[in-house]
């Protein structure tokens, strides 16, 4: 018997066939046309992309000793969405890592898939957290900056932040070279949604360029040791030293005391990291008389035997009275500098004229930065000639009413030691990576004739052998230099302080190869405040170690 289908049954069949075709079409659309979208969506349930820091370049001294490098560490992160017991997780991690439980709980409560727990922890800290077996907490390896010499040259090197970017000093100035290129890493959550692991790199990070300095770590150590002992002995506020190759401007040591340990910076203020040798400006006192010496010789205004009457120690000038630390009558031109007579120098400039004298202040580039490749250098303060008072002509030549930094003074004495060239100081010899190597070239220009600097050099050598700088003398080594003792201006009193001084000595080792300049300044020493007593012995301590060291280990 033939089976008959009613219209109703046929309608039901047609509906099912239509539904099947719709579902098949939808599946085909999703599988063919939306395949990539849903694959990525599924993958993103398990993977997250995180940046992976490129290693920072190393910093070496001129002989290849390492001053700054990278050290492996770990960073801890969490996925709040899969941290089930947030209170327990926050409590346990806070106890192990000495963190705020409240802040950590707040982070874990965010509607995010990724939060930092703590960056740059040690392997031991990472292992303690791993052993807690906390769901949703993961780790990956990073790098943090490490300074194996600790405090050595810290104010010059500077510091980096948690993200390995330079924040101070050379680390900041050469950050574009030192910084590596970041890579990418995938964070993988397993199927149980309890563990977080790392998959292979997607993009490998690249290390930054290495930097080789002009600094010699041994000379830097001697310099820091010498000013530390002086600050402690004279109960001074602080002190700075610069040792420079006079021929090309290479800085062999740049030291400040007190210093700091760049491996432990959490409690440091920016003031503690200040590179005072280049950032602090001060009235130099009698060290600045070197400008009068060079101006007088250049203008051929005085012979060595010409005499200056020094008024027996007291000389009335417009608006004030000049005093010498000892009363002098007639002094020869050479003796004015040997004995550091304020009155004698003031009378020399009075004879030269303000305009001629000011020309040499500008020629020696006071009032301008030296151009050293470090941040935060002060340019000093030079009053324009048109703003000089009637007193300025007499007190600027003795180092008042003018402000300089120690590096500017060292640069001036280098011009005497190197036969008349003004050099641009620098601290980086080369920058090298896998792809390039850049050697930095010294810059200098002629500003004085050799005959002028030769005569100035002889007079400054007498300052050390038979004048106010005798305590800088080293037996068997020809040294020249100038002392400086400057009263500090006290803004609270509105006048120069009766008790606060800055003691300075800047000099050169004349016959070393290369000739060296060493500048020393000590702020607010007690017991004694004279540059010849406080600062000159620091020069001696450094010079008597550095000269034989260089003789047996040639600078390269």
286 a catalytic residue: yes
* CA 35 – CA 26 distance, rounded (Å): 12
Strand ranges for 426-532 from DSSP E: 428-432, 437-439, 444-446, 479-490, 495-509, 516-523
297: Cα separation from own chain's centroid: 37
Cβ neighbors of 465 (< 8 A, separation 6 or more) are 473
Which candidate in 155, 240, 286, 298 is catalytic? 286
Give residue for tokens 């599946």.
Answer: 27
The residues pairing with 68 across neighbouring beta strands, listed in sequence order, are 59
Contact between residue 354 and residue 385 where contact means Cβ atoms under 8 Å apart: yes
- Tokens standing for residue 498: 């009766």
Contacts 24+ apart (CB under 8 A), 383-388: 385/354, 385/355, 385/358, 388/354
The phi, psi pair for 259, rounded to 5°, reads: -110, -160
DSSP-derived secondary structure letter, 403: B
The phi, psi pair for 56, rounded to 5°, reads: -80, 145
The phi, psi pair for 114, rounded to 5°, reads: -155, 130
Distances (CA, A) of 170 to 422, 427, 428: 23, 9, 9
- How deeply is 194 buried, as exposed, middle or buried, from its count of CB atoms within 10 A (0-12, 13-18, 19+)? middle
Cβ neighbors of 403 (< 8 A, separation 6 or more) are 281, 282, 283, 380, 381
> In this structure, how many other beta carbons lie within 10 angstroms of the beta carbon of residue 113?
16
H/E element, 55: none
- Residues designated as active site: 286
């Amino acid at each position: 018997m033939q089976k008959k289908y009613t219209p109703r049954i046929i309608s039901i069949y047609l509906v099912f066939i239509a539904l099947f075709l719709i579902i098949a079409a939808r599946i085909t659309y999703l599988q063919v046309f939306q395949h990539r979208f849903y694959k990525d969506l599924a993958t993103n349930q398990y993977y997250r992309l995180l940046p992976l820091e490129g290693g920072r370049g190393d910093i070496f001294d001129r002989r290849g000793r390492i001053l700054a490098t990278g050290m492996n560490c770990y960073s801890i992160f969490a996925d709040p969405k899969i941290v089930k017991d947030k209170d327990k997780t926050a409590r346990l991690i806070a106890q192990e890592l000495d963190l705020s439980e409240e802040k950590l709980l707040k982070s874990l409560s965010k509607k995010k898939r990724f939060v930092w727990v703590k960056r740059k922890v040690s392997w031991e800290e990472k292992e303690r957290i791993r052993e807690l077996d906390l769901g949703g907490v993961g780790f990956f390896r990073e790098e943090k900056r490490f300074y194996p010499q600790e405090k050595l040259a810290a104010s010059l090197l500077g510091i980096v932040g948690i993200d390995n970017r330079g924040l101070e000093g050379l680390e900041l100035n050469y950050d574009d070279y030192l910084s590596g290129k970041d890579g990418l890493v995938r964070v993988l959550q397993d199927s149980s949604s309890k563990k977080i692991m790392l998959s292979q790199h997607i993009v490998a990070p690249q290390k930054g360029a290495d930097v080789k300095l002009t600094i010699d770590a041994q000379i830097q150590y001697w310099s820091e040791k010498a000013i530390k002992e002086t600050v402690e002995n004279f109960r001074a506020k602080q002190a700075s030293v610069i040792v420079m190759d006079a021929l090309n401007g290479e800085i062999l040591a740049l030291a400040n005391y007190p210093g700091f340990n760049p491996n432990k910076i959490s409690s440091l203020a920016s003031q503690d990291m200040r590179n005072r040798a280049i950032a602090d400006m001060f009235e130099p006192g009698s060290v600045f008389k070197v400008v009068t010496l060079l101006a007088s010789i250049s203008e051929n205004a005085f012979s060595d035997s010409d005499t200056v009457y020094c008024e027996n120690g007291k000389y009335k000038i417009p608006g004030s009275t000049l005093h010498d630390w000892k009363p002098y009558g007639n002094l020869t031109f050479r003796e004015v500098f040997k004995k550091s007579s304020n009155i004698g120098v003031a009378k020399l400039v009075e004879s030269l004229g303000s305009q001629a004298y000011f020309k040499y202040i500008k020629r020696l580039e006071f009032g301008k930065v030296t151009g050293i490749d470090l941040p935060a250098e002060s340019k000093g303060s030079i009053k324009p000639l048109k703003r000089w008072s009637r007193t300025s002509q007499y007190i600027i030549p003795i180092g008042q009413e003018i402000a300089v930094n120690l590096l500017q003074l060292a640069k001036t004495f280098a011009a005497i030691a190197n036969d008349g060239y003004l050099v641009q100081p620098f601290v980086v010899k080369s920058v090298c990576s896998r792809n390039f190597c850049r050697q930095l070239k010294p810059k200098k220009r002629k500003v004085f004739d050799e005959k002028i600097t030769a005569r100035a050099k002889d007079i400054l050598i007498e300052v050390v052998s038979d004048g106010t700088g005798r305590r800088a003398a080293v037996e068997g080594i020809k040294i020249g230099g100038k002392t400086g003792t400057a009263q500090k201006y006290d803004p609270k009193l509105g006048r120069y302080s009766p008790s606060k001084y800055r003691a300075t000595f800047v000099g050169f080792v004349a016959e070393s190869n290369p000739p060296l300049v060493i500048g020393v300044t000590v702020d607010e020493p007690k017991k004694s405040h004279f540059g010849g007593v406080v600062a000159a012995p620091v020069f001696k301590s450094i010079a008597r170690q550095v000269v034989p060291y260089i003789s047996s280990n040639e600078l390269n």
